Every structure is written in C-alpha cells, then in structure tokens.
Amino acid sequence: MLTNRSEEGRRRRSASLFTGNRALPAVRGFSLIELVITVAVLAILTLGVIPLVQVSVKRQKEERLRASLREIREAIDQFHREALVGAQMQANQQQGSTAQQEGAPRIPQAQAQQSMFADPRVRVFITDQTIFSSDNPDRFPPDLETLVAGVDVLPITAGGLGRRGNLAFSASEAASADSVVPKNKVYLRQIPVDPMTGKADWDLRSCYDPADSSSWGGENVFDVHSKSDGVALNGEKYRDW
C-alpha cells in the first residue's frame, strides 16, 4: 500500500512539472575553431589599424610643430618691425634737436611720419632701445624670453620719443605726446613647447649666422628650429623646417 501511494505521488508531481512548466531550449556555444578564427580576424584588424593611428598621431604633431614655428617667427618679425620704428623715432629726436640748435627750417609733420605709417602692421614702436647691444644693430629680439617678458611701447600716433626737440612738431604737440605713458607689450604669452621633443627649447639662429651653421652666435634671435633629429612624413628633417 505504501509503495503504491509513493509511486502515485511521484507520477503526479512529474505530471504537474511537465504540464505547468515548459522545457528550456538547449543553448549552443562557440566551437574551438570559431574562437580561433574570430581571434585571428581581430588580430589582423588590429595590426592594420595601429600603423594608421601612428601616422595620424605623427601628422598631428607635425601640424603643431608648424603652428609653433609660425607663432614664434611672426612674433620675431613683429618685434623687429616695431624696434626699427623705435630706432627711427630716436634718430628723428636727435636730428630734431640738432636742427633746432642750428636754426634749420621746420620739417612738415606729414613728411616726418610718412615712413612710419608705411607698414599698416606697425601701430606702436619700442621706446626702450637700451635692450639692444652693439652686436645687435638690426634690432632683432635678443632672446625668446624678451618676447615673453615684453617691452615698453608707445603708439605711433603719440610719437613722444620723436617729438621732443623735433621741429616737425609744435611745443603743445610734444607736451601732449610726453604725457603718454609707455605700456608693456608682450609678443608671446609663453614659449611654445616643441611637440617633437616635449620641451620649450628651440634651436636659435641670429641674422649673422651662416645658413649652414649648426650653432647660435648669440647676437640676436633671427630664426628658430626644432632640436629634434626625427624625419617628417614628407622625408624632411624637423630641424630643417
């Protein structure tokens, strides 16, 4: 009796399981061959992408290098232009004082300022001419730090440096110009970092160095180059840019 009842109970439970729950479908996994093929395809794709990424990174660094060189060279050229105008203003002051002592006729104001306004890029002139040594009569910046520290400048329209004692200007014009206070002009916010070396250190050349020179003479900063010995994508050396 007990055995029959227990067997009947098991049959009822089994019937309830089959009727109340659905059997789950079997899940098929990846075979070893499929995994090997997948890994091989991924490896081939990776090997093809890595060189493209390296070329892209190198091209971006070259673009930053060109931009940094252009920024420094434009700052050098602008400094040079405004320094030459400052030297001319100083020469006009000396000539005006000499002419006043000798009783020379007064020079028309428009004629005195004509050469100053010839270049529309020049709106101010450097007043402090003591930063230029006797080895740097061409008025290029003595170093890159000067471009960052800045120099004192005045607007060309003021011309205070050239109006005192200059017969081209009246006493009231000279007095109004003398009241203008020089301001410090910065040509570079900071010395750019060479993306090829990772340092803000550049190979400098003065205007007196030969074209094939491998060292800086130290008189002034006429041009800058990268110190990297690497080769660009176009086959040129970075130090020749």
Flag the least confident range among 15-19, 52-56, 83-87: 15-19
pTM higher than the cut 0.85: no
Of residues 241, 67, 86, the one with CA closest to residue 162: 86
125 within 8 A of 89, measured Cβ to Cβ? yes
Residue 141 has pLDDT above 70, yes or no: yes
93: confidence class by pLDDT, cuts 50, 70, 90 = confident
Would you state the pLDDT for residue 106?
Answer: 46
Q: Is the model more confident about 177 or about 41?
A: 41
Q: pLDDT tens digits for 95-119?
A: 655 544 555 444 444 444 555 557 8
Q: How far apart are CA 236 and CA 164, in angstroms?
A: 53
What is the percent of the chain where pLDDT is above 90? Answer: 47
pLDDT confidence of 158, banded at 50, 70, 90?
low
Please state the φ and ψ torsions of residue 38, each to the nearest 5 degrees: -65, -45
Between residues 49 and 236, which one has the greater pLDDT? 236
Report pLDDT digits (tens) over 42-73.
888 777 777 788 888 999 999 999 999 999 99
CA atoms of 239 and 226, how far apart (whole Å) = 5
Task: Return the pLDDT at 8.
Answer: 63
Average pLDDT value for residue range 139-165: 81
Contact 211, 240 (CB under 8 A): no
